[in-house]
Chain A
Amino acid sequence: MDSTEIGLWGVPLAMLGGAIRVSTPFIFVSLGEAITERSGRINLGLEGTLVFGAMTAYAVAVMTGSPWLGLLAAAAAGLCFGLFHGWICKFRGVNDIAIGIALMLFGSGLAFFFGKPFIQPSAPDLPAIPFGGWSDVPQVQAALNVNVLFLIGAALAVFLWWAFRNTRAGLILRVVGDSSDAARAMGLNPNTVRLLATGLGGALAGIGGAYLSLYYPGSWTEGISSGQGLMAVALVIFARWNPLGCFAAALLFGGAGALGPALQSVGVTQGYYLFYAAPYILTLIIMIATSSPSRSLAGAPGELSITK
């Protein structure tokens, strides 16, 4: 057998590779959103932040030649978007979901506007670490080419999971998210905490955008996100506001997304539209299986406007 022929093994391999390659933006956006939602606010604008982060990272990388500066700029841009959302939402009678939708459109539009001159040039990529050196099979090597951001995302998920439970900052975040009154009684200002939480969430979403444009698929086009930011926000609810759950859900989505192309490549060519719907069908099944009419969503922060 030719060493390049891997046949049906291509499917699990593609799903593994796809999980690693595709999931990173989901990880960052959903972790960011988890922080924001744990503080009692929803920022639906992360789709716009993701697109704007992708554009900023690409533009800065093209101009400076350094992908790391691009990453930093994307995080800073995301932070600004997040802080803006947090600042507007502190006013009385402002609906965080509506502001989020506005910021989503604003972020995408602004990114398209500033991104025009950067569609054509090529930017340097973020580096990847080859973990597949032990294997002689080029497909395995390619699948295990892991970008540093994926590793950072994985570490961040574990850290946040630990920090939510075991640190003072985590406690403050959870108190504010569960009850503004209790937080005020403790002498905390819920608006400040939410402002910072939304800013941090935006910064993480910006990093997710940088991954899209600087690593995979690795170029700036206006259709780069195709709704991944929105899906990541939904993943947070799916993951029950648990950072480890966010990580797992992101991997699941990435892997399921790779299923369609991989099956076609091994000759399972009928019904590919159905395979492309696989991640969404999976979500529906899990949502239905884990929900119950007799209790509210487990783990939902009490101040969240969708659960109130």
Chain B
Amino acid sequence: MTERFMLSRRDLLKTSAAGAALGLASASFPISRAFAAAATVGFIYVGPKDDYGYNQAHAEGAATLKAIEGISVVEEENVPETVDVQKTMESMINLDGASLIFPTSFGYFDPHMLAMCAKFPDVQFRHCGGMWNKDKHPMNAGSYFGYIGMGQYLNGVAAGHATKTKKIGFVAAKPIPQVLLNINSFLLGARSVDPAITCQVIFTGEWSLAVKEAEATNALVDQGADVITCHVDSPKVVVETAAGRGAFICGYHANQSPLAPEKYLTGAEWNWAKVYKMFVDDLMAGKPLPNFTRGGLADGFVKMSPLGPAVSEAARAQFDGTLAEMMKGGFSVIKGPLKNNKGDVVATESQTFVETAIELESMDYLVEGVVGSTA
């Protein structure tokens, strides 16, 4: 019995070594403090950070921050949109000392990020999406997003010239406002070339479901769609399947042209590096961070992939013309007269919604010419 309380020689050595290490660490603390990060920034991804898509676009942005002196970046990938993300945020705050967190996936916001905002009022949270509302949500929360719908409009212009069947296809994950705006923009871009074009949409119901995305792409091509784009987390499967079936592709999130160089027309890409740098610059300067950050092509939040070899001269001319128009600012994709695909008017003759219009962030319809349903 007494033996249990006696220290063995080995234990004694261990304990004293640990104590010495601790002493050393605390002694060196003031020195290392000077070199330590002025701020730690946390990034949370819903999937792998090299997925040829959504998460890769964010991770590329995060990677550019690592070069900034005094900033240390912590990342966690494959975090589900469940209470898991709350645990991730807590550990980033408590263990890594993160003062600014970017939960990048749509489903992280409510209730997970909001719960953490209430629990850690000194930490700043910026969510990728359009959910933050001044009246409803705390001030240490916020949202940032790019107007990538414009990019899908330009995709549509390229698609409108490339399609022979006058039918284009869209593989979508879930019917949320940003996805619906992308679908509508893609069709309206194509209709700016030929008003007879229709767009078939298939919702897979999940952000990342490889087999279902492949099935959806096959089903679209079976029904005669000859240009395919998508809004899923990783467009890799859609791009490869569509190219394998001989359809043209417009990319999304990141540049997928290496996957199908001959069939890739163009693509709408994020440029998050610019956005994250903006936030971090404000943080370092001690300025309050903006709660509501938006930007489009003209602001450098969004960029287009270089046009592929299958893009015709006429398409190239219209693409460049439209892009130049957008860069001037004030371009509207959603403008009257416009009906939804149930026949209701969504924009009257005189109504135009520029990309910054807040109405677009609660979009719940598909425009006339899109074959599909939001529920």
Contacts and interface: CB of A to CB of B under 8 A. Distances in A.
A260 B212 contact: yes
Interface in B351-375: 371-373, 375
Contact of A226 (B209, B216, B244): B209
Contacts of B219: 10, 14, 258, 261-262, 264-265
B69 interface: no
Given A223-B208, A224-B210, A112 B259 contact: no
B203 A226 contact: no
A112 B77 CA distance: 11
Contacts of B371: 267, 269
Interface stretch (B149-157, B220-228, B291-299, B313-321): B220-228
A221 B213 contact: no
Interface residues of A, number: 45
A270 interface: yes
Given A142-B245, A217-B213, A266-B223, A223 B47 contact: yes
Interface in B118-142: none
A68 interface: no
B214 A120 contact: no
Interface string B256-280: 0011000000000000000000000
Given A261-B216, A273-B205, A10 B222 contact: yes
Contacts of B218: 14, 17-18, 21, 142, 261
Interface residues of B, number: 42
A49 interface: no
A129 B75 CA distance: 44
Contact of B372 (A13, A226, A264): A264
B78 A112 contact: yes
Contacts of B201: 264
A258 B215 contact: yes
Given A4-B224, A217-B237, A264-B202, A119 B51 contact: yes
A106 interface: no
A218 B241 contact: yes
B223 A226 contact: no
A14 B210 contact: no
A270 B373 CA distance: 6
A265 B208 contact: no
Residue in B52, B165, B222 with the greatest tally of chain A CB atoms within 10 Å: B222
A216 B51 CA distance: 17
B143 interface: no
A87 interface: no
Interface in B177-225: 200-205, 208-216, 218-224
Given A120-B52, A219-B240, A139 B222 contact: yes
B211 A4 contact: no
Nearest to B258: A122
B47 A219 contact: no
B50 interface: yes
Contacts of A223: 47, 208-210, 234
Interface string B44-61: 000110111000000000
A217 B214 contact: yes
Contact of B222 (A218, A219, A222, A265): A265
Contacts of B204: 261
Given A219-B237, A261-B218, 12 more contacts: A217-B210, A217-B237, A218-B244, A219-B210, A222-B48, A223-B209, A224-B210, A257-B212, A265-B219, A267-B371, A270-B373, A272-B203
The 3 closest A-B pairs by CB, nearest first: A269-B373, A265-B219, A217-B214
Interface of B: 47-48, 50-52, 78, 165, 200-205, 208-216, 218-224, 234, 236-237, 240-241, 244-245, 258-259, 371-373, 375
Interface of A: 2, 4-6, 10, 13-14, 17-18, 21-22, 112, 116, 119-120, 122, 139, 142-143, 212, 216-219, 221-224, 226, 228, 257-258, 260-262, 264-267, 269-273, 276
17 contacts: A21-B215, A21-B218, A22-B211, A142-B218, A216-B211, A217-B211, A218-B240, A219-B240, A221-B208, A223-B234, A257-B211, A261-B215, A264-B216, A265-B219, A272-B205, A273-B205, A276-B205
